[in-house]
Amino acid sequence: MAQMNRSPDRLVIFDCDGVLVDSEPIAARLTAEAVSELGWEMTAELAKSEFLGDTFSNIIRRVEEKIGAKVPEDWPTRSQRNLLAALERELTPVSGVRGAIEALVANGVTLAVGSQGSHEKMQVTLAVTGLLPFFEGRIFSASQVSHPKPAPDLFLLAAATLGVPPSRAVVVEDSTKGVKAALAAGMRVLGYTASVGHAAIVSAGAEPIDDLADLPARLGF
């Protein structure tokens, strides 16, 4: 595999949940509890398979379709408040990612976040894990675009805002929706296999990466 140019205009866009912060197990557990409360009996494993990489608005829509009724008016706010409280108590960075980030910064790489999550949630999760200083001012949420992942809009917004052509951007993702979005944006994508497994990542079209500590070497540093 050819090594990538080390010039400072290289951009690496990280998904947040499951790539920067190890939030997926916490989110799956809390989502399962919240959805089960509405009558759709759900385990954490089922919540992960049903909703991984989706926006909260899409989760609400799918729950309403399943239960055949609108969710209670206070349910979205209450479930998100409970999730943020759990993240503040339990959240840690994904293994190996902090060292990888530090190495990329040392080599002049521009870092950004492109996530389905809200800015409010990312401010909490990145602050709790100590990663926020690496990304401040370069955090992009699906709430900023008309079409979330698997559409390419979010990644294209990040690249355009930061003045980097899509062909010079790399995306690090852990969901098949995110992989498809990055490919549609014309970006190289490394798929972290911990969330959905090696086969699903490869099937979606990403270059698999099993350990994020290997990321700098995979990018030619």
DSSP character string of 14-79: E-SBTTTB--HHHHHHHHHHHHHTTT----HHHHHHHHTT--HHHHHHHHHHHHTSPPPTTHHHHH
**pLDDT in the model for residue 52:** 79
Could you give the number of structural domains in the chain? 2
Residue 70 lies in a domain: yes
Same domain flag for 80 and 108: no
Same domain flag for 58 and 155: no
Expressed as residue numbers, the domain containing 174 is 11-22+92-218
Residue 4 lies in a domain: no
Token pair belonging to 51:
């909703």
Residue 5 lies in a domain: no
List the pLDDT tens digit at each of the 221 positions of the chain.
334 444 434 899 999 999 999 988 998 999 999 999 999 999 999 998 888 778 888 899 999 999 999 999 999 999 989 988 999 999 999 999 999 999 999 999 999 999 999 999 999 999 999 999 999 999 999 999 999 999 999 999 999 999 999 999 999 999 999 999 999 999 999 999 998 999 999 999 999 999 999 999 999 99
CB 171 within 8 A of CB 178: yes
Alpha helices in the chain (DSSP H): 24-36, 44-51, 56-67, 75-90, 97-106, 119-128, 153-162, 176-184, 198-204, 215-218
Q: Distance between CA atoms of 144 and 54, rounded to whole angstroms?
A: 15
Instruction: Summarize pLDDT for 54-92 with one digit per residue, the tens.
Output: 888 889 999 999 999 999 999 999 998 998 899 999 999
Phi/psi of residue 16, nearest 5 degrees? -95, -70
Instruction: Summarize pLDDT for 198-213 with one digit per residue, the tens.
Output: 999 999 999 999 999 9
User: 73, 90, 107 — which closes off a domain?
Assistant: 90
Give Dmax (Cα) for the chain: 53
